Structure 1
Amino acid sequence: MDALRELLSDPTIIKLMKLLLWIGITVAVVTFFRRSARKRIENTVFRYKTQKLIEILGYIMIILLVVMFVTVDNVRDYTIIIGLFTAGLTFTLQELILSIAGSFYIFAVRVYKPGDRIEINGITGDVIDIDSIYTTLMEIGGWVSSDNYSGRIVKISNAYVFKGPIHNYSLDFPFVWDELNILITYESDLEEAKTLILHEANEMLLAYTRASTAKWEELVERYYIENAALEPSLAVKLTDNWMQLNLRYITDYKRRRMTQQDLFERIESVFKAKGQAVYFASTTLQLLKIPEVDVRMHTPQT
């Protein structure tokens, strides 16, 4: 008994017992939170990430306890160690902290939501999921042309909402301006071509023009922005080979490709119906006449 009392009165043994006690408490707390996360969180991915985060924090706390009990002897030193550790942990996990903060910012400020089409960090796609760390996109573009899905699922850290611009195609004003260039020859009737193009564009895009007008009026009231012309318009440009008619119009942000295709087919149809009035242009080559060469053959005399 005397040996046991002497052993228990040893400061080193006391510190060791305290260390083991705090490690036991830490392990118990980590186990409790891991089990709670497993029971309460339904999303498999988020549950897995949460459990891993709790484990990592538990290991860090155990390491911190060991360092403190081995090297520190007074409360003041405890405070210094904790401060330094907190600063180091914050620096190491700054991306994770920014990602979690970004998720709250996205939902609070309504930067974007599932279903929106956005461009962030140079990647364009439709938002299909937002969790506490990542925004998941169905990529548009990449190795395919126009506004088509590439088939790749892209995960982008939510921290990027603080690092650069975010282009939202559907927030507040779900329409975009697009352009279609129609090339006609100089022999074509320019005024007739302009009339035909604007007539087809106005007729086909009437629903988009009306819907976008109502949305634009709401936008003007909400933001400091000037009014804009939403009806289809034409601009003519003269080149060395043809006259370029630039048709500018507004359309739904998800139907840009189809709208352009439908417009071109309708315009081509009315041009053909006009016969000799309007001709589509293509690159022309001018062949210069080769000078005549007089070649005479003389038979040598014997």
Structure 2
Amino acid sequence: MIFTLDGKYTGEILMTIAIIIVAYFIKKVLLKVLHQRITDSTSFYRVRRIINYVVFAISALLIGGIWLKFGQSFSTYFGLISAGLAVALKDLVVNMAAWIFIMTKRPFTVGDRIEIAGVKGDVIDQRLFQFSVMEIGNWIQEDQSTGRIIHMPNYKVFTDHLANYTIGFEYIWNEISILLTFESDWKTAKRTFLDVAEKHTLHLSQEIEKKIRVASKKYMILYKNLTPIVYTDVKESGVQLTIRYLCAPQQRRSTKEAIWEDILNIINESKTISLAYPTMRMTLDSKKNGSIHEME
């Protein structure tokens, strides 16, 4: 079959092609001009995304107007098309509705660290039907990047719990537990470990207080103590001291490493503080010819 332009819809076809071509060149020209003017890559990414959406929406409206004529049959055609789309493209429609929710309510945005549907990562892209995250954790410890990009359908914001590490309050609580022997001077160790935690995190206190005041206008965030604290507990093998402190999500591993290195140096130099570890004690019973009498 040879396609000709002598049919009933020749004008509509030509106008549709013309709109697509014009929209394509307008988008290219705008992006080229803005690329020269915007030096920040993050800002250019957001502007490019907005331009893509706007050009697509305007083109779709113009093409729809051409084919539907906006005449008396518009409501009939629109009803039939809507019903068909709702059935055949259910997932796409839900993803688009979720995209509108994401764009308006802003549960997360590009650059935020989130956890959803069992996946943790930094949001690196948002699109009409899906968003992408740079995965963290999984087989990698301390919430560092795995190098994998995970693409998630937008509707996940409706069906799964969403945790945002960044929005509102930009810091998280982290804990480090140190198990000392019962013979250790745990009181001195507790004071020393607190000094170490403050050394690495105390400079954040004023900044965090400002951010909490801002966040409390939108969320019920009521932290009374923002400075590091050390808790004491007793375990089977010794006295456990737990350092609790605030840090940025992306700095969880680096701050933990710095604190641990200082703690290890303190323990190595101290004669009264020792790390506890699993041990076994055996007692020889002389009455039973040197046989083992007790084991723990």
The two structures have a TM-score, normalised by structure 1, of 0.72
Q: Does 1:281 align with 2:271?
A: no
Equivalent runs, 1:11-160 vs 2, <5 Å: 21=8, 23-24=9-10, 27-42=13-28, 83-160=79-156
Moved more, 226-235 or 255-264: 226-235
Distance 1:33 1:123, change over 3 A: farther
2:254 is matched with which residue? 258
The equivalent position to 2:223 in structure 1, one of 201, 206, 227, is 227
- Choose which of 289, 292, 295 in structure 2 pairs with 1:292: 289
The yes-or-no answer on 1:164 pairing with 2:160 is yes
1:34 positional shift: 3.2
Question: Does the residue aligned with 2:250 lie in a helix, a strand or coil?
Answer: coil
What is the count of residue pairs matched by the alignment?
255
Instruction: Note if contact 2:202-2:228 (Cα within 8 Å) is conserved in structure 1.
Output: no
How has the CA–CA distance of structure 1 residues 170 and 129 changed in structure 2, closer, same or farther, with 3 Å as cutoff? same
Structure 1 unaligned blocks of 5 or more:
1-19, 63-74, 295-302
Q: 1:210-263 deviations in whole A, cap 9, x for unaligned?
A: 221221222233323433321111222212211111111111111001111111
After TM superposition, give the deviation of residue 25 of structure 1 in Å. Answer: 5.2
User: Is the contact between residue 178 and residue 242 of structure 2 (CA under 8 Å) also seen in structure 1?
Assistant: yes
Which is worse superposed, 256-265 or 285-294?
285-294
Aligned to 1:188: 184
Partners of 1:25 and 1:121 in 2: CA distance: 48
TM-score in terms of structure 2 length:
0.74
Question: What is the alpha-carbon distance in structure 2 between the residues aligned to residue 231 and residue 293 of structure 1?
Answer: 56
- Give, in whole Å, the separation in 1 of the partners of 2:135 and 2:174: 21
Aligned-pair identity in percent equals 27
Shift of 1:29: 5.0
* Equivalent residue, structure 1, for 2:209: 213
Q: What is the alpha-carbon root mean square deviation over aligned residues?
A: 3.4
One-letter code of the match for 2:273? V
Moved more, 187-196 or 216-225: 216-225
- 2 CA distance for matches of 1:110 and 1:229? 29
Give, in angstroms, the shift of residue 266 of structure 1. Answer: 0.8
Give runs of ≥4 in structure 1 deviating > 6 Å: 43-47, 78-82
Q: Give unmatched runs, 5+ long, in structure 2.
A: 1-6, 32-47, 292-296
Report the Cα distance in structure 2 between the residues aligned to 1:25 and 1:288, rounded to whole angstroms.
100
